Amino acid sequence: MLSIEIDRAACQGEKACVKRAPRTFSLDRERKAIASSEPGDDEATIRAAAQACPHFAITVRAREP
Ligand code: SF4
User: Which pLDDT tens digit goes with each residue over 25-46?
Assistant: 999 999 999 999 999 999 999 9
Decide if pLDDT at 65 tops 80: no
Q: Is the CB of 4 under 6 A from ligand 1?
A: no
For position 12, what pLDDT does the model report?
A: 98
Closest residue by CA, ligand 1 atom 8: 11
How many C-beta neighbours within 10 Å does residue 55 have?
14
Is residue 33 within 8 Å of residue 17, measured between CB atoms?
Answer: yes
In this prediction the pTM is: 0.94
Domains of the chain, CATH where assigned: 2-62 (3.30.70.20)
